[in-house]
A and B are shown apart, each in its own frame.
Chain A
Amino acid sequence: MLRTLLPASTILCAILLPLTGHAARLDELKSLNLELPSSDMTFPDGAGADAMNGNCLACHSADHMLNQPTLPRKVWEEVVDKMINAYKAPITPQDAATVVDYLARTKGTM
């Protein structure tokens, strides 16, 4: 993807913007009641997808995992250990093994 950079002479106005927002005085805060997006995305089908959906999505949406790089199986084991031991994910040993298998299969390196 090639974009063409214009010569400097054509962009004479250096964009060194002055501070625009020097505090208008904030005298009171206004309560907020907002709606935030949620996700009902599930993990791609395949062996172990049920264990992934059942154990991972309570704390974070599936895009957390889908955006991860491929990693060695050992690193995925460490990640699942961290979820269980540090973040107290209530995952049975059997499901933990299934989750590691799924991660190593879909996001694994040789």
Chain B
Amino acid sequence: MQNRDVLVRRMTRRLLLGAAGMGGLALLPAPARAEETVDLRVPGGPSTRPITTAYAQKGRMILQRTSPPWLETPFEVFDKGVFTPNHQHYVSWHWANFPSEIDVDKFRLTVRGHVNQTLSLSTKDILHGLPRVELAAVSQCAGNSRTYMQPRVPGAQWANGSMSNAFWTGVRLKDVLDRAGVKPGALQVRFGGLDEPVVSDAPKFMKSLAIDHARDGEVMIAFGMNGEQLQLLNGFPLKLIVPGWCAVYWVKMLNDIEVLDQPDTNYWTVTGYRVPDTPHNTVNPGRTGFKLVPVTRNFPRSFITNIRSGDAVPVGTPAQARGIAFGGNCGVARVDLSIDSGKSWQPTQLGRDEGEYGFRQWQTQFTLPSRGEHTLMIRCTNTNGEAQPDFPVWNPAGYMRNTIESSHVVAA
């Protein structure tokens, strides 16, 4: 604890220094008090994390790791609307070695490999030389909610905030690939960014998509989020957007696209980010000998955002519940609320559809019939008919948890 206090003090000092140099950035939240923490309610702990405002362009964020940064979106942000403000869009980097200074005039995106002509595209080429597309999509870390898995597993101890929704502006990856001219026999497209490993022979972070996925017309090279240029920590100047798929594919500071005519064998594609090839990627703890496959798409999830466990709810009086949901790799068909621990379910009203890959708000009223403890549960069913499971999702790396969420409230 002592060390953490030192860290928070140091970061506050940096914040003050940093703020002096950022006079042009209006509306930055007030600096957090040095001792401000958040309780993530983690069974077995550690449960508290510092709140930081020390990161450039970012507001109040939950500090999961200083370097390379893991900054989590505070959960209350999700109650305010379906689009996560850029200054609270979560942040996750694998390697600490990435630039904090980027000259857009010198930046180039290379397209190479199994193509007719290698391209070297400037940001102007991207912004002005290709048709623009826009869509809403949730970026969610495969390890979102890992800290709530039981038994616990190592890795980033994310609560529920390594997810954020933005309205992305960019160009189609397909259009960029067509400009280079993909040769017959292409199998995959591999993406790399400006981040580099600290240890020289460590695996550079790269991810690949199958050629047909890369050319589906939805995968996007984004330069804008919510109408502004990308934030540095979210991948400025260009970021790959793979709608409906885990954020590990959303390569930040994208500067290298390589079309492959052989399967990608790099660590991050074949070894990292794998889950059991079982229903819901779930195995019993301790089981071994299962096949592993890469994480790919997102699964449906939903959250109550205006009621937390421990809250008091008036008995016999209509109360409002609201929150967010997303379908994973398709839209939200319905969101249902249970006030009796999952024995019965009632439909909720969905908010405006801002795009099938984004968050959708839901709301409803409910009345708790008797005094005492009640368990509220919320369940999303997506437009493919897939509902959240009512059993604990568990796997050794702590990926893809989408178990129905519960809130324990007291009617009084």
**In the complex, which residues of chain A have a beta carbon less than 8 angstroms from the beta carbon of B307?**
5
**A32 engages B198 (CB within 8 Å):** no
B221-238 interface code vs A (CB 8 A; 1 in, 0 out): 001101111001100110
Q: How far is the CB of B127 from chain A (nearest CB, A)?
A: 7
Q: How far is the CB of B70 from chain A (nearest CB, A)?
A: 8
From A6, A8, A26, A43, B365 is in contact (CB under 8 Å) with A8
The winner among B101, B128, B134, B227 for most chain A CB atoms within 10 A is B227
Take A15-B79, A67-B65, A87-B199 as given contacts and tell me if A21 and B320 are in contact as well, using a CB distance cutoff of 8 Å. Answer: no
**B198 engages A16 (CB within 8 Å):** no
**A37 engages B54 (CB within 8 Å):** yes
From B202, B314, B354, A7 is in contact (CB under 8 Å) with B314
Query: Does B38 make an interface contact (CB < 8 A)?
Result: no
Q: How far is the CA of A15 from the CA of B310 in the complex (A)?
A: 22
**In the complex, which residues of chain B have a beta carbon less than 8 angstroms from the beta carbon of A39?**
7, 10, 66-67
**A68 engages B157 (CB within 8 Å):** yes
**B65 engages A5 (CB within 8 Å):** no
From A1, A6, A42, A88, B202 is in contact (CB under 8 Å) with A88
B1-17 interface code vs A (CB 8 A; 1 in, 0 out): 01110110011001000
**B320 engages A89 (CB within 8 Å):** no
**In the complex, which residues of chain A have a beta carbon less than 8 angstroms from the beta carbon of B6?**
41
Take A32-B232, A35-B100 as given contacts and tell me if A24 and B227 are in contact as well, using a CB distance cutoff of 8 Å. Answer: yes
**In the complex, which residues of chain B have a beta carbon less than 8 angstroms from the beta carbon of A86?**
203, 267, 271-272
**B313 engages A5 (CB within 8 Å):** yes
Q: How far is the CB of B352 from chain A (nearest CB, A)?
A: 7
A-B contact pairs, 11 of them (CB 8 A): A2-B311, A11-B320, A15-B81, A22-B227, A26-B224, A28-B104, A33-B101, A60-B68, A67-B157, A87-B202, A88-B197
